[in-house]
Amino acid sequence: MLTGITIAFIGPGVMAEAMLKGLLKKELAQPEQILISGPNPERNQELQERYGVQPFTDNRAAASQADIVVLSIKPQRMERVVGELKGAIKADAFILSIIAGASISKIARLSGHTRIVRCMPNTPAQIGEGITVWTASPKVSAAQQTMTGAFLNAFGKEIFVEEEDYLDKATALSGTGPAYVYLFMEAMVDAGVHLGFPRRIAERLVIETLRGSVDYYDDGKSDAKHLASLRNQVTSPGGTSAEALYYLEKAGFRTAISRAIWAAYQRSKELGKDAETTPPEE
């Protein structure tokens, strides 16, 4: 699928490493097809030694050789780093951005390029279990969209959306989602310790409960596929589950989750605006 395609990662951070590791593991690309570029020579050398990829410290030089230019940098660095690439990207290449809050129009303005895919992955991509929501500008060809799907499937699953606003919404729901899950798990573990379990046992009970619950929902064998129906299966009238759920509802559990996700969505949109107005770093 990506035979003969050169991929340049601008910003060789954790997510970039997860992506290139997935590409190599699934043999969608060979090490010599992958370029990584960043200001830290030690990090570049680390990835070169680990995966055999080609290191650069000159972003323009790396981008000019690529068919896919992956922007994996922080929003605060976007103005300077993406601006440096203007005029360096090949006309028939496309940009694949995972910059939080960065709109296609903003990336196009800074880079002078119109073939742009915008993505929102999440951290489980680091173990090949991520979910990535993505969209593409009109100039991205059907073949390039197919390439994007294969690329993103290398480190998890992918969902294409037509409307770009879904990317900010996905940032709040799935991009930030692991943080909510970990906080919920942490609270359950702490409650287990308060009950008297050793922390190690409480952690294992919580992890396996979440894993089993998700697998049960996802295996297709359950008749009740609506989450409320699954919850009702373990909620007997007057029982322990009913009592616990009553207190969660009384404490505003649903409202807190809803407001948190909405706040994350608003912040994602703010980050895009901040990135446009933040002065370049010295």
Per the annotation, where are the binding residues?
10-15, 59
Cα separation of 39 and 282, whole Å? 13
Report the chain's terminal Cα–Cα distance, integer Å.
40
Kindly report the backbone phi and psi dihedral angles of residue 198, in degrees, each rounded to the nearest multiple of 5, phi listed first. -60, 145
Kindly report the backbone phi and psi dihedral angles of residue 129, in degrees, each rounded to the nearest multiple of 5, phi listed first. -120, 25
Binding-site residues for NADPH sit at 59
Q: Is residue 17 exposed (0-12), middle (13-18) or buried (19+ Cβ within 10 Å)?
A: buried
Kindly report the backbone phi and psi dihedral angles of residue 134, in degrees, each rounded to the nearest multiple of 5, phi listed first. -150, 160
Binding-site residues for NADP(+) sit at 10-15
Which amino acid type is present at position 56? F
Using the CB atoms, write b or e for 5-15: b if 16+ within 10 Å: bbbbbbbbbeb
* Pairing verdict, β 130-136 and 68-71: unpaired
